[in-house]
Amino acid sequence: METLLGSSLQVFLLFTLIMVGWIAYMTGQALGGTWKPSWHLLPYGILLSMANRFFVFALFDGHLLSLTGFLIGTTLLTAISFLAYRMTLVRKMISQYPWLYERTGLLSWRDKA
């Protein structure tokens, strides 16, 4: 598992998913709150994953150039930021335009009929 993630499972869960995942969540909220397009999440996810790889290497003696660890981290951090982005966008749409839209789920809205 350590060769796949580039660090131990505990470091991956505690540092990557919880600490850096919170940063990814806040990034998604910031981009959704400023009405930026969703493709902006990908470069931010890549940058977050690069910073995560460096901190795992520097603080926890992980592998710096672990390609699979980088790809898994990028995928998860981008997914977390997209979830926060979509939740923020839905909240903003139904709160700013309550006469036009209603919530249909956590990640979607529809026109009021």
- Taking only the tens place, the pLDDT of each residue in 71-98 is 999 999 999 999 999 999 999 999 999 9
> According to the model, what pLDDT value does residue 30 have?
97
User: 2 pLDDT band (50/70/90 cuts)?
Assistant: confident
> According to the model, what pLDDT value does residue 65 have?
92
Domain extent for 40: 2-111
Tally the domains of the chain: 1
> Both tokens of residue 109?
């809205």
Rounded CA-CA distance 9/69 in Å is: 11
Rounded CA-CA distance 84/86 in Å is: 6
Rounded CA-CA distance 62/83 in Å is: 28
Question: pLDDT digits over 40-81, tens only?
Answer: 999 999 999 999 999 999 999 999 999 999 999 999 999 999
Angle, alpha carbons 90-17-20 (nearest 5°): 80
Higher-confidence position of 80 and 1:
80
Alpha-helical segments (H) within 9-112? 9-11, 21-33, 41-60, 67-96
User: 113 pLDDT band (50/70/90 cuts)?
Assistant: confident
Asked if 67 and 5 touch (Cβ cutoff 8 Å), the reply is no
User: 3 pLDDT band (50/70/90 cuts)?
Assistant: confident
